[in-house]
């Protein structure tokens, strides 16, 4: 093993998509959010697999991502752009048949003037104050926009990872008030909202993290395994130190493995001295600082040193690592580095 290996189980992504599709019921179409390079896992491979499994609506953050997904998928599936129709994007939107979710009067004007008759959707702000039309603005713009036949009207929940949060009911009520009776397809929920039940499903759901094995989809199948190759093993005597700033000192005779990956690969430096790598099902504590390209691990208790140690795998998922790093699974996934050799498992079941 020369370079760290990131194994991405496309079969597990499809199983997660199908499980979420079953949860959302037959009246609701299940799309797939593949922004940020499919949460770091490779937009082209992931989107193609999902399209083969039956996904027809894909969502990305910006037009450039939409271009990449269109090139991977070819014609057919709809690709929605959350950031809408930005200045300079007109040609890409037209040439690749992308569907911008228009967020403002500026974007509506730009889209209707530059690409009359071209598909679009509308994003509404139901309280998150991030993207989309607010209620009074929508009231004024709707009579202009609706006759042009939007593909979808959507909004986004701010607190769907906390099902009991009153914000969810407030946004649901606001979404109804802004969209009831329009006769346009509606979408409110990402993974968290989908899991809150039928009231949140509407016509289309937009799961992202749940496809990739992260919370709040507790029943998700794990998708990634990240194995870091052991470069060297050394004996360290009591009183000797390991790594930058002498941050770790051996209390007893120790064996330390140096593995190839570091903060340049998305392994947060804050994990130094706190994270655990795994030799199969045996935990091995990270000792000392995390360097740019290297991590040192205490393997004194192992009878045999494996070729690689897992940061992500059956014993430790993205949310476990996120907890130790003080962040969320989303950030662990999207931070996965470019140096990893990505291996895809597909059609194995």
Binding status of residue 100 toward ligand PLP by CB under 6 A: no
Residue among 80, 123, 124, 118 nearest 99 (CA): 80
Considering beta carbons, is residue 29 or 310 the nearer one to ligand PLP? 29
Residue 7: φ, ψ to 5°: -100, 125
Q: Distance of CA 69 to CAs 28, 80, 100, Å?
A: 23, 10, 14
In the block, residue with structure tokens 């894909």: 58
Q: Which of 7, 57, 111, 156 binds ligand PLP (CB under 6 A)?
A: 156
Active site residue 35: yes
| Number of neighbouring beta carbons within 10 Å of residue 65 | 23
Residues 54-83 that bind ligand PLP (CB under 6 A): 82
If the CB atoms of residues 80 and 263 are measured against ligand PLP, the closer one turns out to be 80
**292 annotated among ligand-binding-site residues:** yes
**Interface with ligand PLP: number of residues (CB under 6 A):** 12
- Selected catalytic residue, list 57, 185, 244, 340: 244
Q: Which pairs with CB-CB distance under 8 Å and at least 24 residues apart come from 276-280?
A: 276/316, 276/324, 277/228, 277/309, 277/310, 277/311, 278/309, 278/310, 278/311, 278/313, 278/315, 278/316, 279/305, 279/306, 279/309, 279/310, 280/306
Residue closer to ligand PLP by CB (options 35, 201) is 35
209 binds ligand PLP (CB under 6 A): yes
- Assess 268 for contact with ligand PLP (CB under 6 A): no
33: contact with ligand PLP by CB under 6 A: yes
The token pair that represents 18 in the structure block: 């199908």
Query: What is the torsion angle, in degrees rounded to the nearest 10, for the CA atoms of residue 32, residue 320, residue 158 and residue 165?
Result: 120
Asked about 244 being catalytic, the answer comes back as yes
User: Of 99 and 276, which has the nearer Cβ to ligand PLP?
Assistant: 99
Q: By CB under 6 A, is residue 207 in contact with ligand PLP?
A: yes
Interface region with ligand PLP, contact rule CB under 6 A, candidates 12-20, 73-81, 202-210, 218-226: 202-210
Rg (CA), the chain: 23
Say whether 130 counts as a known binding-site residue.
yes
Q: Which of 190, 228, 242, 284 binds ligand PLP (CB under 6 A)?
A: 190
**Positions in the binding site for ligand PLP (CB under 6 A):** 33, 35, 82, 156, 190-192, 206-210
Residue numbers belonging to the annotated binding site: 130, 292
Indicate which residues carry an active-site annotation: 35, 244
């Amino acid at each position: 093993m020369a370079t760290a290996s990131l194994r991405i189980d496309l079969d597990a992504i499809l199983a997660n998509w199908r499980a979420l599709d079953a949860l959302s019921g037959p009246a609701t179409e299940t799309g797939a959010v593949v922004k940020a390079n499919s949460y770091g896992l490779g937009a082209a491979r992931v989107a193609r697999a999902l399209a083969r499994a039956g996904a027809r609506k894909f969502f990305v953050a910006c037009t450039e991502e939409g271009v990449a997904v269109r090139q991977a998928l070819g014609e057919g599936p709809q690709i929605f752009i959350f950031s809408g129709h930005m200045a300079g994007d007109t040609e890409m939107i037209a040439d690749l048949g992308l569907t911008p979710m228009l967020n403002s009067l500026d974007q509506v004007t730009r889209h209707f003037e530059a690409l009359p008759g071209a598909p679009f959707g509308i994003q509404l702000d139901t309280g998150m104050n991030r993207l989309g039309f607010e209620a009074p603005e929508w009231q004024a713009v709707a009579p202009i926009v609706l006759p042009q036949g939007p593909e979808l009207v959507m909004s986004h929940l701010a607190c769907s990872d906390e099902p009991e949060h009153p914000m969810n009911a407030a946004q649901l009520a606001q979404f109804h008030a802004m969209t009831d009776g329009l006769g346009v397809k509606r979408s409110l929920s990402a993974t968290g909202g989908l899991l809150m039940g039928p009231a949140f499903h509407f016509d289309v759901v937009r799961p992202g993290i749940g496809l990739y094995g992260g919370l709040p989809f507790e029943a998700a199948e794990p998708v990634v395994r990240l194995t870091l190759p052991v470069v060297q093993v050394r004996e360290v005597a009591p009183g000797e130190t390991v790594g930058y700033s002498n941050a770790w000192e051996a209390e007893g005779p120790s064996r330390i493995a140096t593995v190839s990956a570091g903060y340049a690969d998305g392994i947060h430096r804050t994990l130094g001295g706190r994270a655990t790598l795994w030799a199969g099902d045996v935990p091995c504590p990270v000792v000392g600082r995390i360097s740019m390209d290297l991590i040192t691990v205490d393997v004194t208790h192992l009878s045999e040193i494996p070729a690689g140690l897992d940061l992500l795998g059956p014993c430790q998922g993205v949310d476990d690592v996120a907890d130790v790093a003080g962040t969320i699974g989303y950030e662990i996934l999207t931070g996965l580095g470019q140096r990893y050799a990505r291996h895809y498992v597909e059609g194995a079941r």
